[in-house]
Amino acid sequence: MKLYLKDGTVIEGKSFGANVAGTGEVVFNTGMTGYVETLTDPSYAGQILVLTYPLVGNYGVPYFAKATKGKPLKASFESEKIQIAGLVVSEYSENYSHSEAKESLGQWLKRSGIPALTGVDTRALTKRLREHGVLLGKLVRDGQGMSISAFVDPNEENLVAKVSPRKKRIYGSGRTKILLVDCGAKENIVRSLVARGAKVIRVPWDYDFSKEKYDGLLLSNGPGDPSMCGKTIEQIKVAMKRGKPVLGVCLGNQLLALAAGASTYKLKYGHRSQNQPCTNLRTGRCYITSQNHGFAVEAASLPTGWEEWFVNANDGSNEGIKHKIKPWRSVQFHPEACPGPTDTAWIFDEFIESLK
Active-site residue list: 250, 334, 336
Cα distances (Å, whole numbers) of residue 154 to 137, 215, 233, 268, 276: 11, 35, 20, 16, 25
Residue 210: burial class (beta carbons within 10 Å; 0-12, 13-18, 19+): exposed
Residues 352, 322, 290, 152, CA torsion sign: positive
Residues, the chain, total?
356
Q: Roughly how many angstroms between the first and final C-alpha of the chain, as a whole number?
A: 55
- Going by the DSSP 8-state scheme, the letter that residue 73 receives in this structure is P
- Going by the DSSP 8-state scheme, the letter that residue 334 receives in this structure is B
φ/ψ (deg, to 5) at 290: -95, 135
Q: Which residues of 292-331 are buried (b: 16+ CB within 10 A; e: fewer)?
A: bbbbbbebebbeeebebbbbbeeeebbbbbbbeeebbbbb
Chain mean position to CA 326: 27
Cα distances (Å, whole numbers) of residue 3 to 119, 134, 148: 12, 14, 13
